[in-house]
Structure 1
Amino acid sequence: MAPERVRGLLASATTAQLVTAHETGPVATLLPLTWRPDAAGGLGSLIFHVTRVNPVWREPYLGDALAILSGPDGYIHADWYASNGETPGVPTWNYVTLHAYGPLVIHDDPAWVRDAVGELSRLHGYDDGRVDPAAHDRLLRAIVGIELPITRVEAKDKLNQNRTPEDVAGAIAGLRAAGGDDLADAMEQVSVPHAAARSELVDDVRRRRGVPRP
């Protein structure tokens, strides 16, 4: 996945499965998040918070944590491919995913937690300044902040880039008809130019070898 796609997915993600390893085994926790970019050009940090009763922040960790961020995904019907009428194939599942790794940093500091919660509230269009200050402070004392400074990512766009432009166009049209606009948009951005470049390369190789286009 291109660096700009990685940053776009980090910026647009609203939740992640935070996976941590402990002596008792792995734990997965679905959490809302915000992404704080790194001014120095790094990958930045993922910001979470949990209630104090959640053991994930208290149990010792074994190694780095993993945050699994999911983009759009969906079923691709084989009949959507233009080539399927002549050569029936099989359906597939397209998806966008990103795995972010890094050490967990626990923030049990009221000011840090307040900033993190306010940042998340603003991201979703809510002004938490409307809450009574005493009640707000009481609620903040019940949660703990978690930061995952991202040290590396593994990201993948699996979006039919290996298909012909005609097959990609058919899949996009099928998705839009089925209400899968988010996945169709991702394919427009990634698969359409990739499939076009691949088709042009294949045609060029055929021309050089004197092989007619099928």
Structure 2
Amino acid sequence: MYTPRHFELGADRAADLLAGARTAQLVTAHPSGPVATLLPVLHRPGGGLGTLVFHVTRTNEQWRDTGLGDALAILSGPDGYVDPDWYASQAMKHSVPTWNYVTVHAYGPLVVHDDPEWVRAAVLDLGDRHGYVAGLTEEEWDRQLRPIVGLEMPIARIEAKAKLNQNRAPEDIAGVIAGLQGVGEDALASAMAEISLPHAEARYRLMAEVKAGRRLGEPDARPGRETG
């Protein structure tokens, strides 16, 4: 995934997205081409980056051939359209729209579980996460589990990206946050307030210090300035 340095998502926030994701695009590579399935997902922490748990219908051929090399799970956070009119700096000139988003790409080997007890535990865990399993009898469990197969991905590595206007001025970001709130994109606005605005403010403070001729970490030694 193409990720400029200023769009890199920190490890803690990537872990939050993994923990909170409801679905993922599971992608595997095959000699005939890539295969992708949108699936409910559960992140189990532990063992480094943790594990992703899925289940698929038995008729889905993706579980029968887990593909070439590692699988890829694409987990998406909030995303949305950014109107250039929201940028404060664009008041007297034109710009183009963009699309802001948060995403994590998780990679790892895909392990198939065709054991009813493992699949049942996975479905129960997914049910606790999503709220769709309640009070099944043993006969109903047997009937529900028979047509599905469990999949597990121990995460070997992740790529995490938050493209949230971090490259723009703080006043532009504040304008986008207000614009997003105005159209009901509150989750994306909150992500920008938590990630982009502090990043941009810190960058502009550093730029001001450099412009003033100070070195990073040194006190302001100009006449009349406090140094202690």
The two structures have a TM-score, normalised by structure 2, of 0.87
Kindly indicate whether the alpha-carbon contact (under 8 Å) linking 2:66 and 2:110 is maintained by their aligned counterparts in 1: no
Cross-structure match for 2:205: 200
* Offset of residue 138 of structure 1: 1.6
Q: Does 1:68 align with 2:86?
A: no
Q: 2:162 aligns with which of 149, 157, 165?
A: 157
Q: 1:187 aligns with which of 188, 192, 208?
A: 192
Q: Does 1:113 align with 2:108?
A: no
Cross-structure match for 1:79: 85
Looking at structure 2, the residues matched to 207 and 198 of structure 1 have their Cα atoms a distance apart, in angstroms, of 14
Kindly indicate whether the alpha-carbon contact (under 8 Å) linking 2:71 and 2:108 is maintained by their aligned counterparts in 1: yes
Cross-structure match for 2:22: 14
Identity of aligned residues (%): 61
* Offset of residue 125 of structure 1: 2.7
Secondary structure, in 3 states, of the residue corresponding to 1:22? coil
Cross-structure match for 1:212: none
In structure 1, stretches of 5+ residues that fail to align are: 210-214
What amino acid maps onto 1:8 in structure 2?
D
Looking at structure 1, the residues matched to 169 and 184 of structure 2 have their Cα atoms a distance apart, in angstroms, of 23
Looking at structure 2, the residues matched to 126 and 75 of structure 1 have their Cα atoms a distance apart, in angstroms, of 32
What amino acid maps onto 2:69 in structure 1?
G
The two structures have a TM-score, normalised by structure 1, of 0.93
In structure 2, stretches of 5+ residues that fail to align are: 1-8, 215-228
- CA deviation profile, 1:22-48 (whole Å, cap 9, x unmatched): 22221011111100001x4x1101100
Looking at structure 1, the residues matched to 191 and 174 of structure 2 have their Cα atoms a distance apart, in angstroms, of 12
Q: Supply the RMSD in Å over aligned alpha carbons.
A: 1.3
* Offset of residue 89 of structure 1: 2.1
Structure 1 ranges of 4+ moved more than 4 A: none
- CA deviation profile, 1:110-146 (whole Å, cap 9, x unmatched): 1110010001111123443x12220111211211100
Looking at structure 1, the residues matched to 197 and 63 of structure 2 have their Cα atoms a distance apart, in angstroms, of 43
Cross-structure match for 2:58: 52
Secondary structure, in 3 states, of the residue corresponding to 1:25? coil
Looking at structure 1, the residues matched to 159 and 210 of structure 2 have their Cα atoms a distance apart, in angstroms, of 32
When the two structures are aligned, how many residues end up with a matched partner? 206
Looking at structure 2, the residues matched to 103 and 184 of structure 1 have their Cα atoms a distance apart, in angstroms, of 35
* Offset of residue 63 of structure 1: 0.8
Looking at structure 2, the residues matched to 190 and 81 of structure 1 have their Cα atoms a distance apart, in angstroms, of 17
What amino acid maps onto 1:143 in structure 2?
I
Distance 1:85 1:60, change over 3 A: closer
* Offset of residue 165 of structure 1: 1.1
